[in-house]
């Protein structure tokens, strides 16, 4: 009897948590072989890179024996994290940039939009299901990380933090992917624009920071008022938009001081890079999601009581 009640209760909560769109997304995603191949590809790349790294480190003539010490292990952890971040940047747009435009191209979107499901439910369910799959990919790489623990040098807290960071990056890129998928009718265009935005976030912000630091340094040196790097420390805010810099600031606090030019000085940096990254991209993700919700259905000129 109690088992029946427990089963009923579980079903009740399941129906509360999983709406029809989410249920459909979960079911259909796992019914194609694409899910399996994506998982295989992801694990293959990260596994190959990790074991390749270990191989290079052990055969490199470093003066010591062919062993792998904790400092090298930490280096490997950073390396895996960068590879993982790269893979997240590669997968997130691919998994989200077609979720709305794909339905439009398959001519199923109109049918979905005439149901009672709200625009918010549709967008958030699509985002959540894509994120769940990405999370599955990232979690499936945990055995690879366990190799790092084999040699030591990294705390579980750092591992947890970096996984939370990956999740956040997925949410940001996923939100952008869903926005472009809603705005552009064709998946091809949406995918290109999402990868373009991802490229800017990863490479463009880094390039912009380096360019600005060179320009500011030259300007300061030629100004004749005395060179003080702290005067142009504000360019650190540009570095805070870069996920790689933000991720490394989680591992090492001194990176924040370096980019804000406060190292060795008495003034502390205004904010840690990863904190600014979280704030800035939280705003970006929220704006992207709100816009996607707004634009998935027609915008009526008159603002009556009804909502799409």
Partner 1 sequence: MIEIEGLTKTFGSFQAVKGIDLTIAKGCVFGFVGPNGAGKSTTMSILATLAAPTSGTVKVGGFDVTQHPKEVRKRIGYMPDFFGVYDQFKTIEYLHFYGASYGIPKAEREELIPQLLELVNLSDKKDAYVDTLSRGMKQRLCLARCLVHDPDLLILDEPASGLDPRARIEMREILKELKAMGKTIIISSHILPELAEMVDEIGVIEHGSMVARGNISDIQSKLRVKRVLYVRLLDRLDEAESFLRDQPLVGRLLRDEQGIHVHYEGQDEEQAALLMGLISSGYRVVSFSEAQTNLEDVFLEITKGGENVV
| Per-position x/- string for 90-129, each x denoting binding to partner 1 as judged by CB under 8 A, each - no binding | ----------------xxx-xxxxxxxxx-----------
Q: Does 306 bind partner 1 (CB under 8 A)?
A: yes
Size of residue set near partner 1 by CB under 8 A = 32
The single residue among 21, 147, 173, 261 that binds partner 1, judged by CB under 8 A, is 21
* Contact between residue 229 and residue 201 where contact means Cβ atoms under 8 Å apart: no
* Half-sphere exposure (Cβ direction) of 8: Cα atoms closer than 13 Å: 5
Contact criterion met (CB below 8 Å) for 108 and 25: no
- Nearest-approach distance from CB 11 to partner 1, in angstroms: 9
Site stretch for partner 1 (CB under 8 A), options 27-35, 146-154, 225-233, 240-248: 27-35
Q: Which of 6, 28, 164, 286 binds partner 1 (CB under 8 A)?
A: 28
What is d(CA 127, CA 182) in angstroms, rounded to the nearest whole number? 12
Closest CB 32 distance from partner 1, rounded Å? 7
Among 94, 113, 110, 115, CA closest to 178: 94
Residue 24 in the binding site for partner 1 (CB under 8 A): yes
How far, rounded to the nearest angstrom, does the alpha carbon of residue 76 sit from its chain's CA centroid? 20
Distance of CA 209 to the CA centre of its chain: 20
16 lies in the binding site for partner 1 (CB under 8 A): no
300 binds partner 1 (CB under 8 A): yes
Do 54 and 147 touch, CB atoms closer than 8 A?
A: yes
Interaction between residue 302 and partner 1 (CB under 8 A): yes
- What is the CB neighbour count within 10 angstroms for residue 198? 23
Closer CB to partner 1, 156 or 298, in the complex: 298
Given the complex with partner 1, which of 106 and 157 has the nearer CB atom? 106
**Sequence-distant (≥ 6) Cβ neighbours of residue 35 within 8 angstroms:** 29, 133
Q: DSSP assignment, residue 186? A: S
User: Shortest Cβ distance from residue 37 to partner 1 (Å)?
Assistant: 16
What tokens were used for 80?
């895996």
C-beta closer to partner 1: residue 70 or 308:
308
Tokens of 163: 């996984």
For partner 1, the closer of residues 31 and 157 by Cβ is: 31
- Interacting residue ranges for partner 1, rule: CB under 8 A: 15, 20-21, 23-24, 27-28, 31-32, 106-108, 110-118, 297-302, 304-308
């Amino acid at each position: 009897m109690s088992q029946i009640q427990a089963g009923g209760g579980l079903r009740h909560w399941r129906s509360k948590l999983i709406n029809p769109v989410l249920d459909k997304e979960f079911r259909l995603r796992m019914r194609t072989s694409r899910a399996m191949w994506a998982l295989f590809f992801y694990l293959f790349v990260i596994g190959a890179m990790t074991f390749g790294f270990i191989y290079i480190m052990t055969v490199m003539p470093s003066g010591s024996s062919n062993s792998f010490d904790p400092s090298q292990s930490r280096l490997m952890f950073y390396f895996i994290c960068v590879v993982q971040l790269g893979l997240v940047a590669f997968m997130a747009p691919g998994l989200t940039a077609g979720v709305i435009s794909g339905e439009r191209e398959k001519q199923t979107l109109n049918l979905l939009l005439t149901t009672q499901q709200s625009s918010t439910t549709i967008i958030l369910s699509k985002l959540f299901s894509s994120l769940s799959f990405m999370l599955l990919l990232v979690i499936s790489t945990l055995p690879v990380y366990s190799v790092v623990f084999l040699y030591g040098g990294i705390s579980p807290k750092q591992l947890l933090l970096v996984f939370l960071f990956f999740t956040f990056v997925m949410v940001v890129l996923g939100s952008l992917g869903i926005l472009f998928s809603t705005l552009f009718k064709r998946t091809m265009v949406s995918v290109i624009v999402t990868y373009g935005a991802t490229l800017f976030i990863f490479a463009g912000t880094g390039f912009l920071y380096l360019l600005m630091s060179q320009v500011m340094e030259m300007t300061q040196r030629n100004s004749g008022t005395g060179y003080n790097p702290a005067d142009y420390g504000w360019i650190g805010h540009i570095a805070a938009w870069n996920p790689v810099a933000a991720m490394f600031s989680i591992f090492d606090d001194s990176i924040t001081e370096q980019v804000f030019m406060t190292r060795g000085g008495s003034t502390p940096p205004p904010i840690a890079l990863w904190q600014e990254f979280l704030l800035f991209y939280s705003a970006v993700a929220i704006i992207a999601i709100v816009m996607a919700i707004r634009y998935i259905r027609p915008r009526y000129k008159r603002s009556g009581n009804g909502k799409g």
